[in-house]
Amino acid sequence: MVNKEEVYKDVVTYISELIEGKNNPSGVLCNVTAALHDALPYYFWVGFYIVEDDTLQLGPFQGPVACFRIKKGRGVCGTSWAEAKTLIVPDVEQFPGHIACSSLSRSEIVVPIIRNDEVIAVIDVDSKELNSFDATDQKHLEQVAEILANTSLL
Ligand code: SME
């Protein structure tokens, strides 16, 4: 098993470097998902859903084809948006209304990106194993969310 804390520290530093001085949002956000996906072996799908026109719209991601739009309050992503908080789902089958973009996903974490008290996007990560995500994932993904909230990329 990887030492998550060490891997996340390195990848968050790397992400800060990938972002610095860049003004190509889709390219930078693609690189952010690629850096996370490459670093953490239990990441099956990682990507952004971005708030546009009162809906979450699929943004840059790594992994299989995913759902295109998610309404507020729907699924794990829409619930994280509505509640403006991180959700850790140890077993997606136990989450009422979970949206199964891939039948292979077993556990999930969704972290909102908040600017001026408003959710502007979420980071969504799926794993093929149960119970993949914990407070360490939450802490570092919330750091990534905060870094991105303070850029003009979203
Ligand atoms: N499972 C999510 C949908 C997005 S996919 O996992 C990529 C949800 O329930 O909101």
Q: What is the pTM of this model?
A: 0.97
Instruction: Confirm or reject: Cβ of 39 under 6 Å from ligand 1.
Output: no
**Residue to probe by mutation, ligand 1, list 46, 77, 104, most atoms within 8 Å of CB:** 77
**Per-residue pLDDT, 151:** 95
Report H helices in 40-100: 75-83
Report H helices in the chain: 4-19, 25-39, 75-83, 135-149
**Per-residue pLDDT, 40:** 96
Instruction: Give 36's pLDDT tier (boundaries 50, 70, 90).
Output: very high
**Per-residue pLDDT, 92:** 97
Task: Measure Cα distances from 76 to 60, 80, 97, 112, 150 in Å.
Answer: 18, 6, 8, 11, 24
Burial 105-142, CB ≥16 within 10 A → b, else e: bbbbbbbbbbeeeebbbbbbbbbeeeebbeeebeebbb
Instruction: Confirm or reject: Cβ of 61 under 6 Å from ligand 1.
Output: no
**Per-residue pLDDT, 1:** 61
Q: Is the pLDDT of residue 37 over 70?
A: yes
Average pLDDT, the chain: 96
Instruction: Give 115's pLDDT tier (boundaries 50, 70, 90).
Output: very high
Nearest atom in ligand 1 to 79's CA: 10
